[in-house]
Structure 1
Amino acid sequence: MRNLDILAIRSFVAVAETGGFTQAAPLVHRSQSAVSMHLRKLELALGLTLLTRSPTGAALTEEGQKFLTEARRILATHDSAIARLTGPQVSGHVRLGIMDDFASAFLPTIIARFQQKFPDVTLHVTTGTTSQFARQLGSRFDLVLATQAQSDLSGTLLRKEPLGWAAQGRPVATPLQLVVMPAGNLFREMAEAALREAGHAYRIAYEGNSIPAVEAAAAAGIGIAVVKQSTAREDLVLLDAKDGLPRLAPVGIVLHESETSHTDAAVKSLRKYLVQAFAGSAG
């Protein structure tokens, strides 16, 4: 009888969900080379080719697509059994506020694994402008994952996030056409401050009320936008000093917790899980 390694299965699902070995490595807290070894071991055990490798990532084969459904079922059963048979049961509701881009990028994988480990916890997730969410801790949210300037950090710093200028392509028109969020948004303030300091002429060409709206406008060629490099749309071109644009300082990804939720087991469990997940993705 063939035996499948649970960590190899977990690595396979992470690669399938993120599209690459580099992106998957932090999610399973292993190096890229270890994830690659796990996949070779799994393919050897199954006698199947699950992935096609390329310099830009990995794609599922037909056999890989079929096995992905089974792999997710195996992990769900495994993690649920571990959660139920070890330690006290955690149940309850957690209200989480997060940024639009993180909600659609790698956070769904983290949340899915949290719910496999804590199946009796219900999550209420709201996406939007997290600077406003942070002011609603307690009344509306138990936890808020927010972006803050490094000069104004509060809460628990999870990691530093590099920023970049992004556009449909090169060259960049002058005066610069900015695609931004409404006044008061951190990225807008950073963009305008950096351009003024560098002496660049610019105008606001488009104002959108969400990160997806701003990035879509930039991808359509309306102008340039400030984006998180790790979550920017793939059809955007990241610009730099060679394009004549000033450097942007990194921002902090910060976790805020309501003072009234410190003793709630479900909130504490999600907070701990998020901190550990981001620690695993550092660097």
Structure 2
Amino acid sequence: MNDAHGTRWGPVSELLPQELRVLVAVAESGGFSAAAAALGLTQSAVSHSVRGSEAKLGAVLFVRGRSGASPTPAGERAIGHARRILRLYEVMGAEVRGTGRSAPGGDGLTGVLRIAAFRSAALHLLPPALERLTARHPGLRPEVRVVRELGAGTAGEVAAGRADLGIATLGGPDETPPGLLTGVLAEEAYALVHPAGHPDPKALPLLDWDENCGSYTRAWWREQDWIPRATVKAEDDGMVLTMVGRGLGMAILPELSLREAGEAVQITDLGPRRPLRRVGYVTTPESAASLAVRALIRELRSEKG
């Protein structure tokens, strides 16, 4: 079979683990030479491996240029799968070794558990769950990265194979990459936040941040003729809350963000039709079957209860 460039592709066949590692290294280092140095290979060996992978998959995976190599859309998908497959090898080894060392009836969970979470979830939702998880499974080493809920967000980190589980704001079905599993952990209401004691908080300027634009608030927001256009955009919800406490404006924030509220701010209920957002986990089918991710989901659900 030939592509539009006249390249002849063979039937799709399996990539070897080393070929997967090469693809990931090229993507993460941005070039064949850097990937070769990272892997202890020659540049020609890396180039040969990538060409072989492209022939097996029947697609061009990288755009080559003087400045390096960047993944094509097909390459992005392939690299995400490569990371996830390589992660399965790691999980298999950790679970088998842990089972072999565990006491009768134990699970012997060991190894790294990679988690991506947006800021307020990383501050308030994850710590109690991780405290219980590591107390029950001292061999587990959670690694948490804070990811902004913009663009692909935490779900994108999971799809790309950079996280085993993400804590995400869940919207409509089209907002989660296909092939991922989700579960709701909490539903939280938004409230009006303003300087304590202010006589007319709705007359204040609106403070906002870029992540506060999900489908869970858009429809409600459009119906409110009292909400002005945001005059100040902050980096995150924590900064918004601080600025409200300084008397610089009012804001509309979800419950997780309000856990940081101090005496300088006042929280006012927005009524029975107030906007809500769902916070949940996102993972892959293969990670959902792993013992460590299943244990973390149990702890997150017990936090919900």
Secondary structure in 2 aligned to 1:204?
coil
Following superposition of structure 1 onto structure 2, how do residues 54-73 of structure 1 map, counting pairs within 5 Å? none
Residue of structure 2 equivalent to 1:25 = none
What are the superposed Cα offsets for residues 179-229 of structure 1, whole Å, 9 maximum, x if unpaired?
Answer: 111277328x82x65354132251312111222112112222221222223
* Maintained 8 Å contact 1:153/1:252: no
Structure 2 residue ranges without an equivalent (≥5): 1-101, 177-181
Matches for 1:130-279 after TM superposition, within 5 Å: 130=149, 132-138=153-159, 139-149=161-171, 155-169=182-196, 170-173=198-201, 175-182=203-210, 185-186=213-214, 190=217, 193-200=219-226, 202-229=228-255, 231-232=257-258, 233-235=261-263, 236-240=265-269, 247-278=273-304
Give the Cα separation in 1 of the matches to 2:174 and 2:279: 12
Task: Please tell me whether the aligned partners of residues 126 and 300 of structure 2 are also in contact (alpha carbons under 8 angstroms).
Answer: no
1:120 corresponds to? 139
Identity %: 20
Aligned pair in 2 of structure 1 residues 174, 209: CA closer, same or farther (>3 Å)? same
Gap change, CA 1:261 and 1:222, over 3 Å in 2: same
Alpha-carbon distance, 1:137 to partner: 0.9
Provide structure 1 residue ranges, at least 5 long, that are not aligned to the other structure. 1-82
| Partner Cα distance (2:124, 2:211) in 1 | 25
CA deviations 1:246-279 (Å, max 9, x no partner) are: 942221111111234233322222123222332x
Aligned residue in 2 for 1:89: 108
RMSD: 3.0
Aligned partner letter, 1:96:
I
Structure 2 CA distance, aligned partners of 1:152 and 1:249? 20
Report the CA distance shift for 1:88/1:229 in structure 2 as closer, same or farther (over 3 A).
closer
* Higher RCO by CA contacts (8 Å cutoff, separation 6 or greater): 1
Residue 102 of structure 1: aligned partner: 121
Q: Which residue of 2 aligns with 1:129?
A: 148
Contact 1:137/1:144, CA 8 A, preserved across alignment? yes
Q: Distance in 2 between matches of 1:153 and 1:115?
A: 32
Contact 2:116 2:157 in 1 (8 A): no
Structure 1 residues 203 and 231, CA gap change in structure 2 (3 angstroms): closer
Query: Cα 1:186–1:195, aligned 2, differ >3 Å: closer, same or farther?
Result: closer
**Residue deviations 1:17-57, cap 9 Å, x none?**
xxxxxxxxxxxxxxxxxxxxxxxxxxxxxxxxxxxxxxxxx
Question: Aligned letter for 1:133?
Answer: T
Q: Check conservation: 2:121, 2:256, Cα contact below 8 A.
A: no
Q: What's the secondary structure of 1:136's corresponding residue?
A: helix
Measured against aligned partners, the alpha-carbon deviations of 1:119-167 in whole angstroms (never above 9, x if no partner) come to 1111110123245111221422111112234797861012211221111
2:84 matched to which residue of 1?
none
CA contact (8 A) 1:175 1:203 kept: no
Change (3 A) 1:215 1:174: closer
- Aligned partners of 2:114 and 2:172: how far apart in 1? 25
1:137 aligned partner, one-letter code: V
Change (3 A) 1:143 1:224: same
* Structure 2 CA distance for partners of 1:173 and 1:267, relative to 1, 3 Å: closer
Using the alignment, how far apart are the partners of 1:112 and 1:197 within structure 2?
42
Q: Give the secondary-structure state (helix, strand or coil) at the position aligned to 1:239.
A: strand
**How far apart, in 1, do the equivalents of 2:272 and 2:212 lie?**
21
8 Å CA contact 1:176–1:201 kept in 2: the answer is no
Query: Residue 144 of structure 1 aligns to a residue in which SS?
Result: strand
